[in-house]
């Protein structure tokens, strides 16, 4: 990507489009028993929508916060980041308690409906590692608020919180030297892989389970997007050599990632096992980074000069989801659990799965448009005055005090 705002007068359409796209993919991936999940990017390569989400978050963060550091000073920049961190923290807590409430309601509903066997089989609480929360509520609540208890399904926002907290340090390093920020990120990544650096995800005694998304690994892709948008890193946009290298990496990764390709080949199966460590997700293995960069470069290369296609009728709804990133992400994660419950009741025939996924997309897009409309504060806009067939001469109107709530 080129530097933020370099070729776009307003918002960069690529940021909003690809963030919105990754939210739709994340929805598909998190609906339990969703066979459409077999066709998401994660099944055809080492990286997936998570990398897209984290990279685009870093790119967007540079647009949102980088200018504050540059124009208003370091302290106000830190304050702006702290405010966003608080927003993400409260979003994490809100998401957790909403999902817990829906999971408990589904479990109780199935039990009271005489479907205890189905309830036990589905186990909406256990699949999200939530039994500890219900059995040890006092300790678990403290763990949730202190981020020492991070159950399954609630991994991304805590990772993002730690990365946001790192941002002022990275910006400060870049002020010491132009390469200071990127160099610090690489050093943290190398230290993590060399000596081990992780955060505990369990408060229960005897458990050593770490966060599923290690922020000290995933910060590398976040600050790659941040550094590109800030202009710390520049990349050649129209290099045919880099494009074909990227295509080769994408094809190789697909061959050793999807059973459609490697299932009938002993050589590819052995090759898949050999490169398996390169795609480890928790610590963000280097293979995932290389694969994502290849996809990003090939996409930018093909899209260069054609970005306006993202503003078409089919692209605008996806962009709208990207513009309301945090609430749409939260809504999609909650909706995915509800969609899984709906499929448990209705079944997973092809037409039902397609309708449930399409309904989820429609609700997410509709929610994004609703948020955009609410943020425009329509209650503050004056209605258009109706034309008067017999206009009277204008005369002064006594000043009135503002109405309550304006």
Check pLDDT > 60 for residue 385. no
Check pLDDT > 90 for residue 50. yes
The pair phi, psi for residue 348, each rounded to 5°, is -125, 40
Question: Per-residue pLDDT averaged across 73-87, rounded?
Answer: 95
In sequence order, which residues have a C-beta less than 8 Å from that of residue 67 and are 6 or more positions away? Answer: none
Structural domain contains residue 346: yes
pLDDT-derived band at 340, boundaries 50, 70, 90: very high
Structural domain contains residue 388: no
For residue 198, give its domain range. 13-376
Give the three-class secondary structure for 64: helix
Check pLDDT > 70 for residue 399. no
Nearest to 248 by CA among 287, 295, 280, 296: 295
Q: How far lies 380's CA from each of 7, 376, 398, 399, 405, in Å?
A: 33, 9, 21, 18, 10
Question: Per-residue pLDDT averaged across 171-197, rounded?
Answer: 94
Alpha-helical (H) ranges within 201-285 are 215-230, 240-255, 259-262, 266-275
Structural domain contains residue 3: no
Structural domain contains residue 398: no
pLDDT (0 to 100) of residue 105? 87
Q: Are 217 and 202 in contact (CB under 8 A)?
A: no
Burial-class residue 305 by CB neighbours within 10 Å (0-12, 13-18, 19+).
exposed
Q: How far lies 243's CA from each of 14, 160, 178, 295, 347, in Å?
A: 19, 30, 27, 9, 44
pLDDT-derived band at 400, boundaries 50, 70, 90: very low
Average pLDDT, the chain: 87
Structural domain contains residue 8: no
pLDDT (0 to 100) of residue 388? 54
Check pLDDT > 70 for residue 392. no
Nearest to 55 by CA among 26, 4, 18: 18
How many other CB atoms are found less than 10 A from the CB of residue 143?
A: 21
More confident residue, 319 or 106: 319
DSSP characters for 323-363?
Answer: HTHHHHHHHHHHHHHHHHHHHHHH---HHHHHHHHHHHHHH
pLDDT (0 to 100) of residue 106? 84
What is the domain count for the chain? 1
Check pLDDT > 60 for residue 305. yes
Structural domain contains residue 59: yes
Model confidence pLDDT, tens digit, residues 255-301: 999 888 888 888 999 999 999 989 999 999 999 999 999 999 999 99
Structural domain contains residue 301: yes
Structural domain contains residue 168: yes
- Max CA distance (Å), the chain: 90
pLDDT-derived band at 91, boundaries 50, 70, 90: very high
Question: Per-residue pLDDT averaged across 316-342, rounded?
Answer: 94
pTM of structure = 0.87
Model confidence pLDDT, tens digit, residues 198-212: 999 988 877 888 999
CA distance 365 to 372: 11
CA distance 267 to 290: 22
Q: Are 36 and 91 in contact (CB under 8 A)?
A: no
How many other CB atoms are found less than 10 A from the CB of residue 290?
A: 16
Give percent of the chain above pLDDT 70.
88
């Amino acid at each position: 990507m080129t530097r933020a705002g370099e070729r776009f007068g307003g918002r960069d359409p690529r940021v909003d489009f690809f963030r919105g796209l990754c939210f739709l993919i994340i929805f598909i991936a998190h609906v339990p028993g969703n066979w459409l999940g077999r066709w998401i990017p994660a099944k055809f390569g080492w990286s997936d929508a998570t990398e897209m989400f984290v990279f685009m978050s870093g790119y967007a963060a540079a647009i949102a916060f980088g200018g504050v550091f540059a124009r208003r000073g370091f302290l106000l920049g830190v304050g702006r980041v702290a405010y966003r961190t608080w927003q993400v923290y409260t979003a994490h807590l809100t998401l957790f308690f909403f999902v817990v409430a829906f999971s408990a309601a589904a479990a109780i509903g199935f039990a009271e409906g005489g479907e205890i066997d189905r309830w036990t089989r589905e186990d909406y609480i256990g699949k999200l590692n939530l039994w500890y929360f219900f059995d040890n509520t006092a300790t678990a609540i403290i763990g949730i608020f202190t981020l020492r208890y991070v159950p399954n399904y609630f991994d991304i926002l805590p990772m993002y919180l730690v990365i946001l907290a790192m941002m002022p340090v990275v910006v400060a390093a870049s002020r010491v030297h132009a390469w200071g920020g990127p160099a610090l990120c690489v050093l943290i990544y190398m230290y993590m892989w060399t000596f081990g650096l992780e955060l505990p995800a369990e408060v229960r005694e005897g458990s050593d389970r770490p966060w599923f998304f290690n922020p000290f690994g995933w910060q590398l892709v976040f600050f790659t997007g941040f550094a590109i948008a800030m202009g710390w890193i520049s990349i050649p946009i129209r290099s045919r050599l880099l494009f074909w290298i990227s295509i080769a990496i994408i094809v190789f990764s697909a061959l050793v990632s999807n059973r459609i390709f490697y299932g009938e080949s002993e050589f590819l199966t052995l090759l898949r096992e050999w490169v398996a460590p390169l795609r480890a997700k928790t610590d963000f293995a280097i293979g995932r980074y290389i694969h994502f960069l290849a996809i990003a470069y090939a996409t930018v290369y093909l899209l260069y000069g054609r970005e306006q296609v993202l503003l078409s009728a089919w692209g605008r709804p996806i962009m709208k989801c990207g513009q309301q990133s945090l609430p749409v992400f939260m809504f999609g994660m909650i909706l995915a659990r509800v969609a899984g419950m709906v499929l448990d009741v209705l079944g997973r025939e092809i037409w039902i799965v397609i309708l449930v996924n399409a309904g989820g997309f429609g609700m997410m897009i509709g929610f994004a448009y609703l948020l955009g409309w609410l943020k425009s504060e329509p209650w503050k806009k004056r209605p258009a005055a109706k034309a008067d067939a017999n206009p009277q001469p204008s005369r002064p109107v006594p000043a009135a005090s503002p109405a309550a709530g304006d």
